[in-house]
Structure 1
Amino acid sequence: MSNSPTLAYLLGQMAQDKEVLNGWDAVLNVLESAVNTFFQKQFQSMTAGTGQMTVAQVFCGPAVPNPHGDYCVVTQFSFVLGPPQFVFTDGSNTVTVTQAIVSGTTRSGTMPVEDGFKPSSCGCTPGDSRVTWGPVKTVDVGTRPTVTARVPLTSVTGLINATTHTIVLDFANGAFTATNVTVEGVTSAEMSDQIRNWFMTHGVRYQVASLDCAGRGSIPSLTPTQFQLRVLQTGSGNIIVQILITTNGRPSPGYPIVLEPIPTANGYTCTLMISSRIVFSDILCAGFNSAGKPFNLYPQSMSAAAGYTAYIAPQMHFEGSFSYGSCCSPTTVTYSLYLGGTYSGSAYSGFYLYQSITPSGNVGNTITVTGLNPVSLSGSGPSQAIRITPLPPTVTVTGGASDTINSRLQSILNDDFGPAMAGISFSPVTYFALRNILFPSSMIAMRIVEVPTDMVIVGTFQPN
């Protein structure tokens, strides 16, 4: 796709391909630009809002033998770095971070040393009086000097609390390069090591997201246990950071098959997708079955690729008779039928109920049950909630010789069947989206929720 992907495209693909998560229990898709926003906010916090970071080191070289007394070369540099630019690479969990050197100075000198001198324990400080210093040199920023780091995304357990796993860019694990800046007597490798030492000792790292693996307020199938990270570039050119989540299933050996997981054409920056196995088994069926209905819902799947649906059992039995026509020669219609149906997903209407039967008796008509159960959103911020809004099922009767049969039978069945259907809550899914998946200073602002087969929550981010 050359154009930005649309919501209609995403929902259409998910409805067509059914189970698109390829065995994963849940998948979070975040646009690279959104992750960059998280990073920039953290950088502003690190620099107290100045937007500049000063990297300064003083370090010693090895002892140099001399007839008049051994000495070492001491180097001092101070670079003021501008805001970082983060670039994710397709197929790699390593992020390239580049910061311009907006100003800086370098300086070197010599210091007498004793036998057994170790550079790592020289203890030199800026302007150290033990050092015979040379002149201070200003970094030529006209050459556009930069500091670049290649930093892998890693996981830290318990960064937020004892049960969280946080994905971070930890600069202590980075490989650094200084470009267009040189210091006399210092190799590029030595410069890179010293820059890395500064970032490591100052604990510079950026958070992407955290998964809270505690089961508070949720259910086992919506409690993360493991995750895998993936970065991909879609056909439209979007870079997507994916968090592939395992809950009560098993990690999948493959990847989701959603071609464009975020509808950027509609202004959205993230989606959360939840397996139809969980949605139908542990949300839809569990919700209905706890409501004291005269029937239960049972999940079913014809194949792994087909995803899940749910069927009503036992079906509700309707039988009886009615007469119409003249009082002298009425026509009596008898009917005996079992109504239930199967719930499946739909691209735009939530859960769709359907059944078509020809009942026994002399009615000779076709009975069709249809029902829409849209999934909707309410509230805002931490009070956001996902709800199912059941609409009364419609029973239509077609065929037969008389409209009277159709209207009478349809009225009887609608009056009895409709009240038997009621809604359920999606509070476990809400909790999962707002409490188990955490972002630095932000939360998912859910805008659209649909159940094409797997559930998809489409949204943006807002301050937490």
Structure 2
Amino acid sequence: MTASPATLSNLLQQMYQNKEVLQGWDAVMNLLESSVNTFFMAQWNQQTGRTGRLSIAVIWCEGVLPLPHGQGYYTNVTQFNVELGAPLFQFTSGRNEVTVRQDILQGASRLGTMVVPQNFNPATANLSPNDPHVEWANPQPVDMSKHPYLSGTVALQQVQGIVNNAQSLVLSFAQGAFTLNALTIVGVDNATLVNQLKNWFATHQIRYVLASIDFQSLAGSPGLTPRSFRFNVVTTNAGNTIVQLLITTNGSTPSSNVINVNEPIPTADGLTCTLMISSRVLYQDVLTHGFNNHGGGFSLIPLPPKNGYNAWYATINPQMHFQGSFSYGNCCNRHDVTYSVYLGGDYTGTATEGFALSQQIHTQGNALVDITVSARYAVALSGSGQGQSIRIVPGTPSVTVSGGAEGEMKSRLQDILNNDIRNAMAGVSFSPVTYFALKNLVFPGNLISMSQVQVPADLLIAGRFSPA
């Protein structure tokens, strides 16, 4: 796959050329790494009350030791206070974990002893910082000249029930693997400090939600009801780090995480996310389902890829048949002409003009006529926030007729295209898609602000994230 700039135009052309770019996935959500970090920082600000620092105090005891001269027992107590700066998250291509770094802004350690009974259990001591039961030494500040910091990796986990009982992708710091860097505390090894910090993270539920996927049938459509998903990270030729949610609805889960576009997000046009929905779902669950509610004598049926067209499409079924006859000539030399026309046609995608209807017709009867039918049905956006919607805007069809009876046949065809088919297309509802985008896919404090929608083969929605 050759490199191309991360523009909307190039993405649409590539999707139109490559057709089913999702490679078997039913839907793929592509997020720019900076957007994910925005979600994380919003949660950091909530954790810290917008102070820009996280204050931690950990205190722990060691084993029970005898006092001299049989005067009882004591335990050694250590307290570590630290203030961490904002976390810096970085995703790595092909890995299901995130690296994180937090600068230590200031800190201090404090040692002490406490008289305890012989059966004292350090694990259940529950001491408070600066506990008055402890005989404390003076605090020793952390040497900040070496710019100490906490670093490590945190795996993304799927967790049930954090948001609306949905499946959430979560970074739980209690499960991370951390090291303390450029930090020395006299009498305390860093491994012990890290374990105490992880315990504190667990007790205080320090975690970051990347996204949640609601598996409920909110759209009332099997093809737009998530059943499972996979997390993936890719780094593109343009240097963009893309976080992907690869989603299975009512299809089969592919083994590969690769989709067939090299720049999934048009960052050159200022966009930060895209949602791609497979042509199978688009034609089965959106176009034909909505079209067939028009109540006419014809309908659309979805069809899988065929030779020469490597994506799902739809065709009119049954074909509309109209026939007639007319006479021409003078009273002594009249000619009777009959014609029989079957209007069907296939609906496919286009790079920038929405759905296309096209058909080549060769009539039957003794009036042999060649007819070309062409129509475009653009897709458009309206509304804002939770009220965003997608609709079809039918254009003016084109009919060319060559041969006998062309005037009458063209009039009949244009009447059908301008009324029956136009009305059916205008009545197609994209509500299942917008429900899926805005309600099944949940991002912390944000929703997708859709700005572009096209149907090059798979459906593409491109936009940005805005506060909900």
- TM-score, normalised relative to structure 2: 0.92
RMSD: 2.3
Map of 1:437 onto structure 2: 441
The letter of the residue matching 1:370 is S
| Secondary structure at 1:411 match in 2 | helix
Map of 1:426 onto structure 2: 430
Alignment match of 2:236 (pick from 223, 234, 237): 234
| Secondary structure at 2:434 match in 1 | helix
Map of 2:134 onto structure 1: 131
Map of 2:296 onto structure 1: 293
Alignment match of 1:102 (pick from 101, 105, 108): 105
Map of 2:457 onto structure 1: 453
CA distance in 2, matches of 1:417, 1:126: 78
| Secondary structure at 2:323 match in 1 | strand
Alignment match of 1:202 (pick from 184, 201, 204): 204
Using a 3 Å threshold, how does the CA distance of structure 1 residues 395 and 323 change in structure 2: closer, same or farther? farther
CA distance in 1, matches of 2:120, 2:306: 71
The letter of the residue matching 2:279 is S
Displacement, 1:344?
Answer: 0.6
CA distance in 2, matches of 1:2, 1:339: 42
Displacement, 1:279?
Answer: 0.7
Q: How many residues align?
A: 459
The letter of the residue matching 1:348 is T
Using a 3 Å threshold, how does the CA distance of structure 1 residues 185 and 303 change in structure 2: closer, same or farther? farther
The question of whether the paired residues in 1 share the 8 Å contact of 2:219 and 2:433 is answered with: no
* 1:347 matches 2:351: yes
CA distance in 1, matches of 2:329, 2:87: 84
| Secondary structure at 1:218 match in 2 | coil
Query: What is the percentage of aligned positions where both structures have the same residue?
Result: 47
The letter of the residue matching 2:173 is F
The question of whether the paired residues in 2 share the 8 Å contact of 1:395 and 1:410 is answered with: yes
Displacement, 1:387?
Answer: 0.8
Alignment match of 1:220 (pick from 219, 222, 226): 222
Q: 1:374-422, CA deviations, whole angstroms, 9 ceiling, x for partnerless residues? A: 1111111110001111224321124x4x8xx545542332124431212
Q: 1:92-147, CA deviations, whole angstroms, 9 ceiling, x for partnerless residues? A: 11111211111122211233444344332333322233333222122222311111
* 1:277 matches 2:287: no
Q: How does 1:244-393 map to 2 (within 5 A)?
A: 244-255=246-257, 256-302=259-305, 306-322=310-326, 334-393=338-397
Using a 3 Å threshold, how does the CA distance of structure 1 residues 331 and 411 change in structure 2: closer, same or farther? farther
24-33 vs 243-252, which moves further: 243-252
The letter of the residue matching 2:233 is V
CA distance in 1, matches of 2:395, 2:269: 28
CA distance in 2, matches of 1:376, 1:417: 20
CA distance in 1, matches of 2:107, 2:329: 100
| Secondary structure at 2:291 match in 1 | helix
Displacement, 1:322?
Answer: 4.6
The question of whether the paired residues in 2 share the 8 Å contact of 1:218 and 1:431 is answered with: no
CA distance in 2, matches of 1:318, 1:248: 39
Displacement, 1:67?
Answer: 4.1
Q: How does 1:11-90 map to 2 (within 5 A)?
A: 11-64=12-65, 67-68=68-69, 70-90=73-93
CA distance in 1, matches of 2:136, 2:105: 24
CA distance in 2, matches of 1:6, 1:392: 29
Using a 3 Å threshold, how does the CA distance of structure 1 residues 146 and 272 change in structure 2: closer, same or farther? same
* 1:395 matches 2:402: no
| Secondary structure at 1:382 match in 2 | helix
CA distance in 2, matches of 1:185, 1:194: 15
Q: How does 1:173-212 map to 2 (within 5 A)?
A: 173-212=175-214
Using a 3 Å threshold, how does the CA distance of structure 1 residues 184 and 113 change in structure 2: closer, same or farther? farther
CA distance in 2, matches of 1:36, 1:171: 16
The letter of the residue matching 2:79 is Q
The letter of the residue matching 1:379 is G
| Secondary structure at 1:361 match in 2 | coil
CA distance in 2, matches of 1:43, 1:326: 90
Using a 3 Å threshold, how does the CA distance of structure 1 residues 416 and 323 change in structure 2: closer, same or farther? farther
CA distance in 2, matches of 1:188, 1:44: 27
The question of whether the paired residues in 1 share the 8 Å contact of 2:219 and 2:225 is answered with: no
| Secondary structure at 1:414 match in 2 | helix
The question of whether the paired residues in 2 share the 8 Å contact of 1:176 and 1:195 is answered with: no
The letter of the residue matching 1:397 is V
316-325 vs 421-430, which moves further: 316-325
Q: How does 1:133-152 map to 2 (within 5 A)?
A: 133-152=136-155
Displacement, 1:14?
Answer: 1.0
CA distance in 2, matches of 1:323, 1:140: 104
Runs of 5+ unmatched residues, structure 2: none
| Secondary structure at 2:63 match in 1 | coil
Map of 2:169 onto structure 1: 167
The letter of the residue matching 1:452 is P
Using a 3 Å threshold, how does the CA distance of structure 1 residues 302 and 161 change in structure 2: closer, same or farther? closer
Displacement, 1:333?
Answer: 5.0
Q: 1:120-176, CA deviations, whole angstroms, 9 ceiling, x for partnerless residues? A: 2333322233333222122222311111231111111122223x1111111121112
Q: 1:68-103, CA deviations, whole angstroms, 9 ceiling, x for partnerless residues? A: 465433211111111111111111111112111111
The question of whether the paired residues in 2 share the 8 Å contact of 1:218 and 1:432 is answered with: no
Map of 1:154 onto structure 2: 157
The letter of the residue matching 1:412 is R
The question of whether the paired residues in 2 share the 8 Å contact of 1:280 and 1:310 is answered with: yes
| Secondary structure at 1:61 match in 2 | strand
CA distance in 2, matches of 1:302, 1:46: 50
CA distance in 2, matches of 1:218, 1:435: 12
CA distance in 1, matches of 2:416, 2:4: 50
The letter of the residue matching 1:210 is S
